[in-house]
Structure 1
Amino acid sequence: MKKFLLILFTAVSMVATAQKFTIKGQLTDTLNAPLPSATVLLLNPKDSSLVNFGAGDAQGNFLIRNVSPGEHLFKVTFLGFRPYTKKISTPDNGTVIDLGRIRMQSASSELEAVEIAGERAPVTVKQDTIEFNAGSFKTKQNAVVEDLLKKLPGVEVDSDGKITAQGEQVRRVMVDGKNFFGSDPKLATRNLPADVVDKVQVYDKKSDQAVFSGIDDGQREKTINLSLKPEKRNGAFGTLMAGAGTDDRFQVRANLNRFSKGRQLSFLGMGNNVNEQGFSMDDYMNFTGGSQQMAAGGPVRMQISSDNNNNSVPLNLGGRANGIMTNYAGGVNLNNEFNKKTELNGNYFYNYLDHAKDQTTLRQNFLPDGNFTFNQNSRQRNSNSNHRANFTLDHQLDSANSLKLTGNVTYNQTDAETTSTSENITPGNVVQNESQRLTLSTGDNTTLNSTLLWRHKFRKKGRTFSTNLQLGVSQNEREGLLDAVNNFYGDDPREEILKQTSLQTTDYKSYSGTFSYTEPLGGRKYLEANYNFRQNLNDVRKTVYDVNADQSVFNENLSNSYTSDYQYHRAGLNFRMNKSKYNVVVGGSVQRTYLEGDLITRDVKIDRSYQNVLPAVRFNYDFSNTRHLRFDYETSVQEPTIQQLQPVIDNSDPLNLYVGNPQLRPTYSQSWRLNFTTFDPATFISFFTFVNVDYTTNAITNAQNIDSNLVRTTTPVNVDNSMSVSGNANFSFPIQKLKSRFSLGGDYRNQRSINLLNEAANTIHQKTLGGNLRYNYRYNDIFDLSLSADLDHQLTSYEFNQPDQTFINSTYTAESNLTLLKNYQVSTSFEYLEYENRSTNFSQAIPLLNLSVSRFVLKNKAGELKLAVNNLLDKALGISQTASINYLERQTTNSLGRYFMLSFTYALNKQLNPMGMRRGGGMIRIMRP
């Protein structure tokens, strides 16, 4: 019996082994020169559906493993060469089919039609790039790129337009590998039509220095590249839209694009008063005080204030702009290849924004000796004008030398007016103090940044030298007026009347130079030596005058003149080893930092120096063409901002003061990042995950002191450390029979930080556990449905005697598009936002419903006449909650209510599509020369 089982097991093992075999070979041109990175396909000969695939290496060698027995169609494609096909059958002997050297033939001038049946793979993974086939993710007619991104697994887009891919914020969106209006992602995602995109590629963009030298310097920028359809790269496309609605609402938008070989020209223009921005408002937010004054929270946003830079960490990212906004914007973008050696990218963009916001604040404060309540009613009226210009000139001097010059200039002008009344109330409902104030602020800011990169390649392959020089200049000037009446009650009742004018100028200059040399060591090993020098110069002058009976008296306590000089010297050495399956970089640097400061009006000088060792390790492993693992460890030093260093009292809110700290030290951060991606081309199943750990010593946090009059003073200070651990995973799979696709994701974050209250240190723990589920259904071109649910459970606990805060935030969305009688389309979008704070028994549910009916007219449905109602249920209210070191705050803000709008959209890309190619998968006809 044992012998029989042994024989049976051996036979089964032989059969199982025979079930799989391997195909290998090498691809060359007719002169036997290798063709690197060619695409190798294995197709079903019956219907040409994809069975397996691979890619050639730098020497043209390819390998396809685990091929099932039977007949297959082997196919190779390479740009500029005719496709190569060959029938493959299970080998009679052995488990390897060696096709030897395959000589690809140059493409002829005759047109050849090739039909590929079946749907293109919705997701592919190419080393560190995740590529989505745009046609596999259906969008409605005249949708923009942002609508397409919302359907991609692992990609999140909040209502304010911020994009997150695989848990990291996307900082740049490019078009066919070229910059599009600088680095503002919204200018591409909210203005370009979705149906011109062929592929969406998500990757970490490395610095120019790293790309040239081959040594990873750790500088990465999460980037999306929009690869356009071939027919769009040699033609014109765009959309024109105009609409008018009830309550004097209006919206106009235009984008015109003319692409040809070696040239991209784009124009954008927009204007509306319906709170829609096709651009980022970073300059406006930075100038007016950031998110604290913008309150970009939407219907409900809950956040925890425990980070290092006085900006709250949002607990829910589905924010919308509160208040009423009117904006106008326009610009032009040019990419031009003069020849094979010279390429120019340039753009200019202007935007004007007017923002009106009414807000009520209720804050519950917790103190060791008792609690109190803060109430405030405020009205803000802000306006901002912004000009931006960017350019990049890349020139190849010869085969060994190249120059790259980049520069950007911004000019920003803002006017702000705020009126408010506020009071602090004891638990016995006794008013402790109250304030009425008016603040006016006007000013402008000019910034210039430029970079010159020179790259040189020596005759010996892998030996390089490069120099990167940078210059940054910024000038800021602001004038302000404070008119306030403060009343204090209790044991020492008094009235304070403040009327002050102020003028602050800030001059900033930065110089830096990086020098890098790489030396090949043989065996695909490299050594890089680098040196960096940087100097940051700040000159801040603030003068404050007390106004009394039209006389101005200099206020010495609130005025200040301050200069600082930061110098950095960093020398580093990196070792890199490249293998067929993996590559590793091990290195580090030593940084010496010098700080010289002069508090002129206080006759105080600061002279400090710091030395830090900055190690780094990076490891990439490729299990296969579709499965990759990446690990990074890096360290960094971040110096305090000039605002944090100024020992000047900011009394724009007399009951909540802020003063800087010239004794701040730089923070030292260590980061560990692990990332894994996989994609199965046979089943179209994909899985992405990452884990991040960040540990910071000398972390900068905000210390708060509250006096007997309940006046709060906030000062940045250094604490021992802070730490955060976060993870994210996404699993996506289709069900072809149901014409559906599912995407399931989860994320976790655990953050620990230290804050100070009345000179007592307190530890705050924030834990967030969330998940999301997406479902997409598509029935031909008639109906599509998208459902999603996002759930977050957040617990914030305090060492200080303060009640723990438990937030449960849920967002449910549904979007559908139904095409009737070929030329009619009904679209609906519904969001149900549900937020709960179990600690305070607060619960808020907000339904948001939008409906529209469209009639398509003109040839190829180029025109769309649409009647839409936005916010049908008229939820014209915004609510945000903030949990901080010793208080819980709720703000109620006015928001845009219900309105109807009739609009007409003309899609130029419909008229200029002579090939009439279909969107989506299915049968594709490709014309090849």
Structure 2
Amino acid sequence: MRKIYLLFFSFLLFHGNLLGQEMLNGKVVDNETGETLPGAYIFLKDNDDNTLGNTYTDENGEFKISNPALSSFILEVSFIGYKTLRKPLSGVTSKNLGTISLQEDAAQLQEVEIQGKVMTGEVKGDTVAFNANAYKTRSQASAGELVRKMPGVRMNGGTIEVQGETVGRVLVDGEPFFGDDPAMAMQNLPVAVIDKIEFLDQKSDQARLTGFDDGETIKTINIVTKKETRGGKFGQLFAGYGTDDNYLVGGAVHFFEGAQRLSLLGLSNNINQQNFSADDLTGAFGSGDSRGWRRRDSDDITVRERPGITTTNSLGTNFTDKFDDGKARFSGNYFFNDSENTLRRRSTREYILPSDSLQFYEEERQEENNSQLHRLNMKLEYDISEKHAIIWRPRFSYEKANSTSKLAAVNLFDQSTPISETVNATESTEEALRFDNDFTYRYKFNKPGRTISTSIETGYRDNKSDSRLVSVNQNYQSGNLDSLIQKTNNKNGSFDYEVEIEYTEPIGENSQVRVEYEIGNDKSDNIQDVSQREMESTVFERDSTLSNEFENSYQRNEISLGYRYAGEIWRVYSSLNYEVAKLNSDRLFPGYENTKRTFKNFVPRLYVDYEPSKSLSVRVGYRTDTDAPSVRQLQDVIDNSNPLQISMGNPELEQEYEHRLFTRIRKINLENSKSFFMWFSAGLRNNYMGTSTYIATQDTLIQNDVLLRQGGQLSMPVNLSRAWNANTSISFGFPLSFMKSNLNLDTRISYSNTPGLINDQLNNNHNLGLGQGIGISSNVGENLDFNLSTSGNYNLVKSSIQENRNTEYYSHETRLDLYWNFWKGFFVSTNVNNQFYVGLGEEYDQSVWLMNADFGYRFPPTQNLELKMTVFDLLNQNTSINRSVTDVYIETERTDVLRQFFMLTLTYNLRAFGGNQPQYEN
């Protein structure tokens, strides 16, 4: 295997040398403002006007193009709305053509305006740019409402996908806006300030700093604002009160002055609006189990939306600016959130047993959670000189929470025959402190492409929790009844660091190699102190079976050789990493035990981009990765907070090794506004960290001390042979001219094989998912705006230990969003959502209609002041149903959500723009 990799890299290096050639470079800017012009077309032509070569400028307005063999030729530069520049060149001795200035063409701009037809957009390398004016929305719409009309975009709840990939970052004019928080920018930028929307694959900070593109990208939306709105202030202030004492107060105000941007935000409500948003109150519906934008706790200014109903009080601020003539770029934000959450949830699990039988688990949970969160983030990028540059990013957060929980759960042989039951109550408090600090330094040598850089990343965690559990448990088969009173004090902390040094070297004009060494260590400790008392006693005694003291170290060394080739049509990014990881775990109590493991792996990665034309782009990638078990997974301490579902760790766990392959195809014809996107991804995990579940056939003692009642489940992580999955997403969009709308078709197919152990017998759950979506978005005008979408999803689950038993379920969602400004400032808007379920069981199979409606008036002359009456859940049918499939069970959940209420809201839209402001080059 090693010989194959060495031969592969030798071929790439030799190929790069053969293809190296002399390149010309330059930059294109606006003649008056000096702003760079990304996407300008560059042509080299002979004296007979035959094209010798062509390219376009990148996001910084810069270009590279092969130097023709002719002694004299013509340089032609063009850009929409500017006069075309033609410049004869002869006897060129310098590779740098310098800065090329273009003048605006007033006649061309006027002609476009008279025709009344706006170009859809343009393709610039891996960037697809769409003109905002080509998509009509209501005047008060946000960026999110505009983006959802564009081809290749799919939005579902809190998720936004572009060309099959989840968006991870939103920029404004190429700069961060609310850090790495896509949701905030999409909700708070009005369409009035937007000129273009760009979809691109943004490189990592390290790649942009060193100039070595390793192929690792983040799907990014860049919002380009109109020049006349880059100086001034805009935002929205709103206040509403409704039935059942429901209220909503908040606002967001943004101050833009050149590169300096300041945002102030506030929000207070009891209608489940958990994150800052001016118009989007869809958080009032559904479980709030968001993915995509909120698939994790954000590092910035939003929080993970909790299921149930939440009262929220939040404050936030965001600031960005440039200093030292634009060489220093600073951004930072502070966020405070205080929330009270109420959760009412009923769930049913179906366990598939090896004995060709089933067992059921039913649970009713009630929780009250109160939490306070402070979060501070900063980022400094400083190009100190042509040779020296740094990136510094400190992040801090502190959270404190307390909660109460009541649980009633039962195991059953069938739907009506109980085995065992528990009723318990828990009170707990938690406190968590986190600090991360990343620093990167880069030095450029005199030779272009030769750099050396180093980065240091550190992280500190300190978490504490205390809980008190009172539980009453019953075995229906034996009639035994017992109680449990338990206190748990848990303290865990960690400190991790990673140091990396990287050297890059050019090979010809188009190729570059990288050598990298990385060392890191993640040190953590955990103390769990559990004590119990009898019902008739007042004295707590420490339980050595449930208590644990644990220390863990995971040290990693990695050396990497990377290669990059960047041509006009082909681009190749590859690396071969060799990784040595050492796991050292010490159990200090009860009884000392040491576990040591060493893992050695080759970790190759390869990305290939093929762009034969502006309209067609193909990207293929293969990567491998390793995943180490967490501290919690390694601890063999028992968690009996739910006596019917006991869990414990496994000190014998080994790391996972993952292979992943993906392909993306993009074809766009901007002349007829047709688009085609396809995304395919497949992954294989060796040493998969799955779950071993033991279901007790009788009352059983775990570790000779903890009682697992008949029918109860003991789960622990184990390494299994293989888990794999594959999924594809195909999107096709085109305009419907006869109704001034756009049509998007979206097809999804997924298949997964997830292994698990049930009573020591291997079970593979095969899950097939088929989905088809159709969406129509209007392009009529500001006074009438609608979006209609429907999506069906079919799932088939098959178990290997019960091959004759298949579980099928189908869900279908249809949604209509309609806005109509029908007369002199009076408007109506509504969103209607139908959710249809089949195959989830008698209790969950249903058709649910959710409907919101607004009736409002905008006061003349500016129409910035708005008064509206809103009814939420007009049909009073709101509900939340969710189904999940794991390696050992299928679970269906229903969560209580907010129901019908009426609200009167007054909103002021601030729009005060001060014209053009000087901009630094990006």
> For this structure pair, what is the TM-score category when the shorter chain's length is used for normalisation?
0.7 to 0.9
- 3-state SS of 2:612 partner: strand
Residues 1:779 and 1:524: Cα distance change in structure 2 (over 3 Å): closer
Asked if structure 2 preserves the Cα contact closer than 8 Å seen for 1:598 and 1:605, the reply is yes
1:846 Cα deviation (Å)? 0.6
1:54 Cα deviation (Å)? 7.0
Equivalent-residue separation in structure 2 for 1:277 and 1:419 (angstroms): 24
Residue of structure 1 aligned with 2:153, choices 152, 155, 162: 155
Name the aligned partner's letter for residue 83 of structure 2. Answer: P
- 3-state SS of 1:557 partner: coil
Name the aligned partner's letter for residue 546 of structure 1. Answer: Q
Asked if structure 2 preserves the Cα contact closer than 8 Å seen for 1:453 and 1:468, the reply is yes
Counterparts of residues 751-762 of structure 1 (less than 5 Å): 751-762=752-763
Equivalent-residue separation in structure 2 for 1:103 and 1:373 (angstroms): 73
> Which residue does 1:879 correspond to in 2?
881
Equivalent-residue separation in structure 1 for 2:102 and 2:422 (angstroms): 79
Residues 1:579 and 1:302: Cα distance change in structure 2 (over 3 Å): closer
Name the aligned partner's letter for residue 277 of structure 1. Answer: Q
Find out whether 1:438 has 2:425 as its counterpart: yes
Find out whether 1:386 has 2:373 as its counterpart: yes
- 3-state SS of 1:644 partner: helix
> Which residue does 1:775 correspond to in 2?
776
Find out whether 1:422 has 2:399 as its counterpart: no
> Which residue does 2:317 correspond to in 1?
332
Asked if structure 2 preserves the Cα contact closer than 8 Å seen for 1:122 and 1:684, the reply is yes
Find out whether 1:233 has 2:230 as its counterpart: yes
Asked if structure 2 preserves the Cα contact closer than 8 Å seen for 1:218 and 1:634, the reply is no
Equivalent-residue separation in structure 2 for 1:502 and 1:842 (angstroms): 36
> Which residue does 1:721 correspond to in 2?
722
Deviations 1:365-390 (A, max 9, x none): 44344434333332110112111111
- 3-state SS of 1:142 partner: coil
Mark the runs of 5 or more structure 1 residues left unpaired by the alignment: 1-24, 43-52, 64-73, 87-100, 281-294, 304-310, 312-318, 916-929
Residue of structure 1 aligned with 2:611, choices 622, 632, 649: 622
1:762 Cα deviation (Å)? 0.8
1:806 Cα deviation (Å)? 1.1
Equivalent-residue separation in structure 1 for 2:736 and 2:493 (angstroms): 60
Equivalent-residue separation in structure 2 for 1:464 and 1:683 (angstroms): 44
Residues 1:510 and 1:78: Cα distance change in structure 2 (over 3 Å): farther
Q: 413-422 vs 188-197, which deviates more? A: 188-197
- 3-state SS of 1:580 partner: coil
- 3-state SS of 1:843 partner: coil
Asked if structure 2 preserves the Cα contact closer than 8 Å seen for 1:56 and 1:62, the reply is no
What TM-score comes out, normalization by structure 2 length? 0.84
Residues 1:756 and 1:914: Cα distance change in structure 2 (over 3 Å): same
Residues 1:431 and 1:769: Cα distance change in structure 2 (over 3 Å): closer
Mark the runs of 5 or more structure 2 residues left unpaired by the alignment: 1-23, 30-35, 44-53, 68-75, 87-95, 278-282, 297-303, 698-709, 917-922
Residues 1:876 and 1:793: Cα distance change in structure 2 (over 3 Å): closer
> Which residue does 1:925 correspond to in 2?
none
Equivalent-residue separation in structure 1 for 2:477 and 2:692 (angstroms): 26
Residue of structure 1 aligned with 2:440, choices 448, 453, 471: 453
Asked if structure 1 preserves the Cα contact closer than 8 Å seen for 2:558 and 2:580, the reply is yes
> Which residue does 2:348 correspond to in 1?
362
1:487 Cα deviation (Å)? 1.5
Equivalent-residue separation in structure 2 for 1:728 and 1:762 (angstroms): 28
Q: 354-363 vs 585-594, which deviates more? A: 354-363
Q: 465-474 vs 831-840, which deviates more? A: 831-840
Residues 1:232 and 1:556: Cα distance change in structure 2 (over 3 Å): same
1:905 Cα deviation (Å)? 1.1
Residues 1:592 and 1:414: Cα distance change in structure 2 (over 3 Å): same
> Which residue does 1:905 correspond to in 2?
907
- 3-state SS of 1:247 partner: helix
Name the aligned partner's letter for residue 743 of structure 1. Answer: N
Equivalent-residue separation in structure 1 for 2:785 and 2:80 (angstroms): 35
Find out whether 1:343 has 2:314 as its counterpart: no
> Which residue does 2:493 correspond to in 1?
507
Counterparts of residues 688-707 of structure 1 (less than 5 Å): 688-707=677-696
Deviations 1:822-848 (A, max 9, x none): 311111111111111178796211111
Equivalent-residue separation in structure 2 for 1:872 and 1:222 (angstroms): 37
Counterparts of residues 506-545 of structure 1 (less than 5 Å): 506-545=492-531
Equivalent-residue separation in structure 1 for 2:889 and 2:598 (angstroms): 37
Residues 1:62 and 1:250: Cα distance change in structure 2 (over 3 Å): farther
1:679 Cα deviation (Å)? 1.4
Residue of structure 2 aligned with 1:483, choices 443, 466, 470: 470
Equivalent-residue separation in structure 2 for 1:400 and 1:261 (angstroms): 27
> Which residue does 1:145 correspond to in 2?
143
- 3-state SS of 1:623 partner: coil
Equivalent-residue separation in structure 1 for 2:411 and 2:506 (angstroms): 68
Equivalent-residue separation in structure 2 for 1:374 and 1:252 (angstroms): 42
Asked if structure 1 preserves the Cα contact closer than 8 Å seen for 2:179 and 2:331, the reply is no
1:787 Cα deviation (Å)? 1.1
> Which residue does 2:16 correspond to in 1?
none
> Which residue does 2:871 correspond to in 1?
869
1:105 Cα deviation (Å)? 7.6
Residue of structure 2 aligned with 1:567, choices 539, 543, 555: 555
What percent of counterpart residues are identical?
A: 26
1:627 Cα deviation (Å)? 1.9
> Which residue does 1:84 correspond to in 2?
84
Residues 1:205 and 1:523: Cα distance change in structure 2 (over 3 Å): closer
Asked if structure 1 preserves the Cα contact closer than 8 Å seen for 2:832 and 2:851, the reply is yes
> Which residue does 2:392 correspond to in 1?
405
1:37 Cα deviation (Å)? 6.1
Residue of structure 2 aligned with 1:665, choices 654, 658, 663: 654
Residue of structure 2 aligned with 1:587, choices 562, 568, 575: 575
Find out whether 1:264 has 2:261 as its counterpart: yes
Q: 131-140 vs 827-836, which deviates more? A: 131-140
Name the aligned partner's letter for residue 349 of structure 2. Answer: R
Name the aligned partner's letter for residue 323 of structure 2. Answer: F
1:41 Cα deviation (Å)? 10
Asked if structure 1 preserves the Cα contact closer than 8 Å seen for 2:425 and 2:471, the reply is yes
Equivalent-residue separation in structure 1 for 2:541 and 2:26 (angstroms): 83
Asked if structure 1 preserves the Cα contact closer than 8 Å seen for 2:350 and 2:891, the reply is yes
Asked if structure 2 preserves the Cα contact closer than 8 Å seen for 1:300 and 1:835, the reply is no
Equivalent-residue separation in structure 1 for 2:666 and 2:653 (angstroms): 41
> Which residue does 1:809 correspond to in 2?
811
Equivalent-residue separation in structure 1 for 2:285 and 2:864 (angstroms): 36
Residues 1:256 and 1:721: Cα distance change in structure 2 (over 3 Å): same
Residues 1:297 and 1:217: Cα distance change in structure 2 (over 3 Å): farther
Q: 175-184 vs 342-351, which deviates more? A: 175-184
Residues 1:320 and 1:536: Cα distance change in structure 2 (over 3 Å): closer
Equivalent-residue separation in structure 2 for 1:571 and 1:767 (angstroms): 39
Asked if structure 2 preserves the Cα contact closer than 8 Å seen for 1:124 and 1:626, the reply is no
Deviations 1:602-659 (A, max 9, x none): 3110111000001111111111123211111111111112221121111111111111
Asked if structure 1 preserves the Cα contact closer than 8 Å seen for 2:370 and 2:402, the reply is yes
Name the aligned partner's letter for residue 578 of structure 1. Answer: A
Equivalent-residue separation in structure 2 for 1:451 and 1:130 (angstroms): 31
Find out whether 1:683 has 2:710 as its counterpart: no
Name the aligned partner's letter for residue 385 of structure 2. Answer: D
> Which residue does 1:20 correspond to in 2?
none
Asked if structure 2 preserves the Cα contact closer than 8 Å seen for 1:806 and 1:839, the reply is no
Residues 1:821 and 1:706: Cα distance change in structure 2 (over 3 Å): same
Deviations 1:183-218 (A, max 9, x none): 232222233334322222222222122223333335
Equivalent-residue separation in structure 1 for 2:365 and 2:569 (angstroms): 61
Name the aligned partner's letter for residue 610 of structure 1. Answer: F
Name the aligned partner's letter for residue 715 of structure 1. Answer: M
C-alpha root-mean-square deviation of aligned residues, in Å? 3.3
Equivalent-residue separation in structure 2 for 1:443 and 1:330 (angstroms): 22
Asked if structure 2 preserves the Cα contact closer than 8 Å seen for 1:301 and 1:881, the reply is no
Name the aligned partner's letter for residue 336 of structure 2. Answer: Y
How many residue pairs were aligned?
A: 822
